[in-house]
A and B are shown apart, each in its own frame.
Chain A
Amino acid sequence: MTEADRTKDAAVDQELIERWRAGDERAATAIVERHSTALARFALSLGVRDDLNELVQDTFVRAFSALDSFRADSSLRTWLFTIERRLVLDRRRAARRRPDSVEVMPEDAATEFHALDSMVASETEDRVRAALTRLSPMQRDVFTLRVQEGRAYKDIADILGTTEGAARVHYHNALRAVKEWIHD
C-alpha cells in the first residue's frame, strides 16, 4: 500500500468514524467489513486458532468503546491490530495462570496449522510456513505484518510496541533466515 493509498484509506475510516459518532450505525458495519478479515488473518499469524471470531469481535468492541482515544495520526487498522495483539497477549497470560488449560502457543499452533494445511498447500508454501515457524515471535510478527499485511515500519513499530529501526532489523533478519530455509 502506498502513502497515497494510506492517506485515502485513513480519510475513509475517519469519515466512517465521524458518521458513527453522529449516530449512523451503518458506519459501524462498514468499518467492521473493511477490517475484520485483516484482523482475522493477523490473529492467525499471531498463532491464534481458537475462538478467532470472538477475538475479532472483542477487538472491535474494545475499539468502539474507546474511539475517543483513537488518534487519526495513525491508521485505524494499525490501532485495531494493536488492540488485537494486546488481547492475544492477555489471553496467553491468563491461560498461563490456569495450569489445567491447554493453550496452544504460537510455535505449536503454526506447526499444527502447517500440518493441517499441507494437504492442499504447494510444496513451496509448506516450506515457507515451516520457515516462518522457526522465526522468533517478534521476527515473525514484523515479517508477516510487512509482507503479508503490507504495513509500513512505523505502523509495525506501533503495533508491536517497538521502534521503527528495530522493526527494520527484525525484518531483514527474518528475510535472510526465511530465504535460507526455503532453499534448504
Chain B
Amino acid sequence: MTDCTNNDLQDLLPEFAAGELPARERELVDVHLVSCAACREEVDVIVAVRNARPLPPLVDVTAIVAALPKPPVLSTATRDDTTAPVLRVVTGGQTGRAPTMQRARATRSVFGSSMLKFAATLTLVAVGGLSVVMSGRGPTSATSSDVASTPMFSGDSMIVATLPEPYAPDRVPVKAVVSVAPSVLPIQELSDYSDDELALLLERLDAWDGAPPVEPDNVPPATIQSDSAIQGAS
C-alpha cells in the first residue's frame, strides 16, 4: 500500500472502525477514505483484527470485590469483642446542666437492628459536628470532673458506654470531641440504610474509643480527641 501522509487522520482509524467517532470526525474520515487506498486497507485490517479478538472470559466480580481491601475510612483495627463497649444515647437536657454518667448492666445482646439504628443516629449527630460526651475506659480516660465541667446543651447527645462485666469497676467518663469528615456519610434517613450499612456505621462507632482493653487503675487520666481514633485508620 502507498503510505498515507495524513497522520492525524490515520490516528482516528481504530476509533472509526469501532464506530466510536463523533459525527464530525466520522465524516472527515469518510471523505478521506474515498481518496486514500492506504487508509481503506488499514480499516479493513483493523476490522478483521477487531473481529478476531478473543471473547471476553467470564470474570467473577463478586469474588474480586470480596478480595479487595476495605475503604480507608472503614478499616479500623479489630478489637477484642468482649471488651467493646455497648453504646447508647442520652439526649442532652437543659443548658449548662452537667451530664449524668451511667453505668448500665446491659449486655452486648442488645445489638439488634434497633441498636444499630441507635448507633447510626449517633453517627448522624456526629456528622453534624456536635461535640458529644463519651463514656469509656482505659488509659485515655479522663476524670469525671473534666466531663462535669463540660456543659451540655439542649439537643446535644451523650454516649454512654456500658462495659462488659469483668472490666466494669467504676464508670470512667471521657470527653470526646467527635468529628467525621462530611464525605464519610451523606446525611439521610436511617431507613435508607440497609442492615449491612448500619452494621458498618456501628463498626465506625466502635472506633471512636481507641482505648486498648487494659485496666485503667495505674494509668494517668487524659482527655481524648477521638478524631484520631476515627481518622487514624485512613
Chain A interface (Cβ < 8 Å from any Cβ of B): 1-2, 4-5, 18, 20-25, 28-29, 32-33, 36-41, 44-45, 52-53, 56-57, 60-61, 64-65, 113, 117, 121-122, 124-125, 128-129, 132, 143-144, 146-148, 150, 153, 175, 178-179, 182
Query: Given A146-B14, A147-B50, A178-B49, A28–B20 Cβ distance below 8 Å?
Result: no
Measured as residues with beta carbon below 8 angstroms from the partner, the interface class of chain B is 35 or more
Query: Given A2-B20, A2-B25, A65-B69, A124–B63 Cβ distance below 8 Å?
Result: no
Residues of chain A within 8 A of B53, CB atoms compared:
41, 45, 144, 148
Residues of chain A within 8 A of B70, CB atoms compared:
25
CB < 8 Å neighbour of B51 from A38, A125, A146: A125
A61 close to B68 (CB less than 8 A): yes
Chain B interface (Cβ < 8 Å from any Cβ of A): 1, 11, 14-15, 17-18, 20-22, 25, 41-42, 45-46, 48-54, 56-57, 59-61, 63-65, 67-74, 181, 183-185, 200
B71 close to A132 (CB less than 8 A): no
Interface CB pairs A-B, < 8 A, 5? A18-B183, A28-B68, A32-B61, A113-B54, A147-B14
B57 close to A44 (CB less than 8 A): yes
Q: Is the interface of A mostly helix, strand, loop or mixed?
A: helix
Greatest chain A CB density within 10 A among B42, B53, B184 is at: B53
Once bound together, how far apart are the Cα atoms of A44 and B54, in whole Å?
7
